[in-house]
Amino acid sequence: MSAATTLASSNLPSLGLVPGWLTTASHWWGPHGLLVSLREHVLYTVVAVVVAMIIAVPIGLLVGHTGRGGFAIAGLANAIRAVPAFGLLILLYVVVSPKIHYHGSISWLVPRGAFGSLIPVEAMLVVLAIPPILTNTYAGVQGVDPDVRDAARGMGMRGWQVVTRVELPIALPLVLAGVRSAVLQVIATATIAGYLPFLGGLGYQIFINGLPQINDPDVGYPAMIGAALLVAVLAVVADLLLLGLQRLVVSRGIAGRYRTTLPAPVPPASAAPPASAEI
């Protein structure tokens, strides 16, 4: 019987078991505990988003600065968004994993033999993280006032000086908004990494630890719901941290966080001479 059939035909335990499962110390410690799963989930997310930024931000800056290729950017982003994440993961795993012959480990970051699964997962997450960062970077640079660009050139700035000193700071709120969107998407999608061998993350608690033991009220169902709640909490915490970072690094004037209220203009005095004036 498949896991889906088991899930459909089982009498699910009460949600009241989930808090007890989450507050049990033994579920947090150990090689497959929740702390390890959280650490792995954060690692998958950080690596994917950083690589996506390295790829997408320069391309978005270049296309936005030159004004060439905007339609291609929009079409590429929409095409990538239409790709099913799980199907892309399986395709990459089947194609890439047999060609990876390194079976070592990197300290506690990557367990032995995990590279064959980790590289397809990270590639899939990078592909999904690129569109929001790319489109927001392009839109942010495109939205810069042409007069501001002309003023920068009039001050002697050329080429990438205009990009890095003028356009990027002005576009930074949109760029960081794209990064926040990418982080949320990657955190949610990284859950399916638990399907592949040697990998963990919070998806391990759902698909490996929870789903096969769905009828066990002490392990299966609480593990699935508890891990899903942790994914949601992780996404909220990450978004709040990035929002705080955005408030720190973005100029107050650009962010529009403070408005200067100018006094109302004084009406001009009447220029007509008084009626009793004598010549």
How many residues does this entry show for the chain?
A: 279
What pLDDT, on a 0 to 100 scale, did the predictor assign at position 262? Answer: 42
What pLDDT, on a 0 to 100 scale, did the predictor assign at position 151? Answer: 86
Residue 237 has pLDDT above 90, yes or no: yes
CA of residue 25 relative to chain centroid, distance: 30
Convert the pLDDT of each residue in 174-187 to its tens digit: 999 999 999 999 99
Residue 105 has pLDDT above 70, yes or no: no
Question: For position 155, which CATH number holds?
Answer: 1.10.3720.10
- Asked, for residue 8, whether it belongs to a domain, the answer is no
What pLDDT, on a 0 to 100 scale, did the predictor assign at position 81? Answer: 86
DSSP E strands in 41-107: the ranges are none
- Asked, for residue 211, whether it belongs to a domain, the answer is yes
What pLDDT, on a 0 to 100 scale, did the predictor assign at position 200? Answer: 79
Average pLDDT, the chain: 78
Residue 130 has pLDDT above 90, yes or no: yes
Output DSSP code: residue 109: T
What pLDDT, on a 0 to 100 scale, did the predictor assign at position 56? Answer: 94
- Asked, for residue 77, whether it belongs to a domain, the answer is yes
| Number of domains, the chain | 1
Q: Which structural domain, as residue segments, surrounds residue 69?
A: 16-101+112-249
What pLDDT, on a 0 to 100 scale, did the predictor assign at position 54? Answer: 96
- Asked, for residue 276, whether it belongs to a domain, the answer is no
Contacts of residue 140, Cβ cutoff 8 Å, sequence gap at least 6: 60, 64, 167, 170, 171, 172, 173, 174, 175
Convert the pLDDT of each residue in 142-164 to its tens digit: 888 888 887 888 887 877 788 87
Q: Are 61 and 168 in contact (CB under 8 A)?
A: yes
- Asked, for residue 73, whether it belongs to a domain, the answer is yes
Contacts of residue 159, Cβ cutoff 8 Å, sequence gap at least 6: none
Q: Are 125 and 189 in contact (CB under 8 A)?
A: yes
Between residues 103 and 95, the one the model is more confident about: 95
- Asked, for residue 272, whether it belongs to a domain, the answer is no
Q: In the chain, pLDDT over 90 holds for what percent of residues?
A: 27
Nearest CA-CA partner of 216 in 3, 10, 2: 10
The structure tokens 């367990």 sit at 111
Q: How confident is the model at residue 32 (pLDDT cuts 50, 70, 90)?
A: confident
How open is the CA angle 89-92-95, to the nearest 5 degrees?
150
- Asked, for residue 4, whether it belongs to a domain, the answer is no
- Asked, for residue 23, whether it belongs to a domain, the answer is yes
- Residue 259 corresponds to which amino acid? R
